[in-house]
Amino acid sequence: MKAHDGMYIDGAWRPAAGTDTIEVVNPVDEQVIGRVPAGTAEDVDAAVRAARAAFPAWAATTPAERAARLAALRDILVARKDEIAETVTAELGSPLPFSQAVHAGVPIAVAGSYAELAATYAFEERVGNSTVYQEPVGVVGAITPWNYPLHQIVAKVAPALAAGCTVVLKPAEDTPLTAQLFAETVAEAGIPAGVFNLVTGLGPVAGQALAEHPDVDLVSFTGSTAVGKRIGATAGAAVKRVALELGGKSANVILPSADLAKAVGVGVANVMSNSGQTCSAWTRMLVHSARYDEAVELAAAAAEKYGDRIGPVVSAKQQARVRSYIDKGVTEGARLVAGGPESPREQGYFVSPTVFADVTPEMTIAQEEIFGPVLSIIRYEDEADALRIANGTVYGLAGAVWAGDEAEAVAFARRLDTGQVDINGGRFNPLAPFGGYKQSGVGRELGSHGLSEYLQTKSLQF
């Protein structure tokens, strides 16, 4: 894998202020595949200054000009999609077909959607005797995680650029090569110097310096709730805009009238996909007691079929963390019906696709985000019980409802305290707002809702 030994700041790869580096490790074979600079507050400051200097001119471009740059970016992502997929596979460990379809494919769709939205969005409207303008917020500090390394970058950078904002990105330390590749595509797309800047580095050093920088106007963070709370507090103290996309513990509610085999099959696939490292994964499956045993059997069989084909988790640290949750599930009395804490391979950060039955709603594995291929199946007695369990966590990011009748599923979904719900296996929509209720976050990404996060309003009265 190609790695740059500098930071992409003000339109060029520049040497980092310090000499520390971060090793990038392939989670499949534990080999070091590259090194990137570990940025410091000095690098962050240089990047923020570049973004500030570039802001007035970029903010003054027409929406059509920004749309053209984003369309060029989308086209380069298309042209380089194989390289993107290979890079994500090398540093995240996801199987290549999944990297091609999802890690490379979804950012293309999202970049394309913002090329179109930039051209069509109403940045100006009449309200009575006023004209209301939607103006860019300013300099954006974007901090992203490793689980969908390119998607999470594009889901912030594309709408920020469409709005007329400039950006400094601090990507996850585990997946910086994908971020460097993205910086190359930005340069190729002819996006002016300073509009997008990249500082690789550690969260508590470079990430924190970016979140605290007084000249950053908006911090957009995706990652753990623990770090998100700190970033929210820092932003609040500085009266700065903040968007937080945090954890989840979403419920897959299978109502008695549902097609059980389909609901369980899709539900297991949803949790195992990306080795369970998806914030919106339906990690709690809720099944009526009358069909519980049948569901457990189906889920265990489905999970066993995956074996080690799901790929590893991202790092040794994540592997240890996920395995300790599996141990905890056993200790708290849940019944292992597939997988377990033992690694299925000698080498690599693999975790077996794991299914727990007899999970009760208050158990740790039913309350905390595990971020690994671990499914908890919980029994309910009636609809009120199902609703109470589904809503009974601090999170509210996503979910699913299955019923024989769509209207029945919709009625239940409307009572869920969560940001998005898939009805009878509804497909991912890159234009639908994505974000959380409760402690799953603040703000929305994707589509026009994602664009409005990067805009502030000004009204002129006549």
Using CB under 6 A, pick the residue from 91, 217, 369, 422 that binds ligand NAP: 369
Helix 383-390 and helix 406-413, axial crossing angle in degrees, nearest 10: 50
Report residue 352 as tokens.
């077996």
**Min dist. Cβ of residue 176 to ligand NAP (A):** 9
204 near ligand NAP, judged by CB under 6 A: yes
For residues 282-307, one letter each, b for 16 or more C-beta atoms within 10 angstroms of the residue's C-beta and e for the rest, the string is bbbbbbbeebbeebbebbbebbeebe
**Min dist. Cβ of residue 153 to Mg ion (A):** 16
Per-residue interface string for the shown chain with Mg ion, residues 179-218, x marking contact by CB under 5 A: ------------------------x---------------
94 near ligand NAP, judged by CB under 6 A: no
Residue number closest to ligand NAP, CB atom: 203
**Min dist. Cβ of residue 172 to Mg ion (A):** 7
Using CB under 6 A, pick the residue from 84, 172, 195, 375 that binds ligand NAP: 172
- How far is Cα 93 from Cα 91, in angstroms, rounded to an integer? 6
**Min dist. Cβ of residue 167 to Mg ion (A):** 21
Q: Identify whether the C-beta of residue 257 lies closer than 8 Å to the C-beta of residue 360.
A: no
43 near ligand NAP, judged by CB under 6 A: no
Judged by CB under 6 A, which stretch of 196-204, 340-348, 398-406, 450-458 contacts ligand NAP? 196-204
Query: How many residues are present in the chain?
Result: 462
Choice between 196 and 292, CB closer to ligand NAP: 196
- The candidate with the shortest Cα–Cα distance to 50, out of 214, 167, 142, is 167
203 near ligand NAP, judged by CB under 6 A: yes
245 carries an active-site annotation: yes
**Min dist. Cβ of residue 317 to ligand NAP (A):** 8
**Min dist. Cβ of residue 227 to ligand NAP (A):** 4
- How far is Cα 144 from Cα 168, in angstroms, rounded to an integer? 11
| Candidate list 91, 212, 245, 408, residue with the active-site label | 245
Choice between 321 and 449, CB closer to ligand NAP: 321
Angle (CA) 230-234-236 rounded to 5° is 115
Torsional class of 215: left (φ above 0), alpha (ψ -120 to 50), beta (otherwise):
alpha
Using CB under 6 A, pick the residue from 243, 246, 264, 302 that binds ligand NAP: 246
Please give the radius of gyration of the chain, using alpha carbons only, rounded to the nearest integer. 22
- The candidate with the shortest Cα–Cα distance to 319, out of 347, 278, 273, 351, is 351
- The candidate with the shortest Cα–Cα distance to 300, out of 246, 377, 241, 370, is 377
**Min dist. Cβ of residue 399 to ligand NAP (A):** 15
- How far is Cα 232 from Cα 300, in angstroms, rounded to an integer? 40
Angle (CA) 75-77-83 rounded to 5° is 135
147 near ligand NAP, judged by CB under 6 A: yes
Choice between 147 and 393, CB closer to ligand NAP: 147
- How far is Cα 253 from Cα 162, in angstroms, rounded to an integer? 37
Q: Identify whether the C-beta of residue 328 lies closer than 8 Å to the C-beta of residue 365.
A: yes
| Candidate list 91, 165, 212, 279, residue with the active-site label | 279
Judged by CB under 6 A, which stretch of 94-102, 128-136, 225-233, 343-351 contacts ligand NAP? 225-233
106 near ligand NAP, judged by CB under 6 A: no
Choice between 59 and 394, CB closer to ligand NAP: 394
- How far is Cα 377 from Cα 202, in angstroms, rounded to an integer? 36
165 carries an active-site annotation: no
Choice between 10 and 174, CB closer to ligand NAP: 174
Using CB under 6 A, pick the residue from 107, 232, 247, 348 that binds ligand NAP: 247
- The candidate with the shortest Cα–Cα distance to 38, out of 65, 81, 67, 5, is 5
Catalog residues that contact ligand NAP under the rule CB under 6 A. Answer: 143-147, 170, 172-174, 202-204, 207-208, 211, 222-224, 227, 230-231, 245-247, 279, 321, 369, 371
Catalytic residues: 245, 279
Catalog residues that contact Mg ion under the rule CB under 5 A. Answer: 203
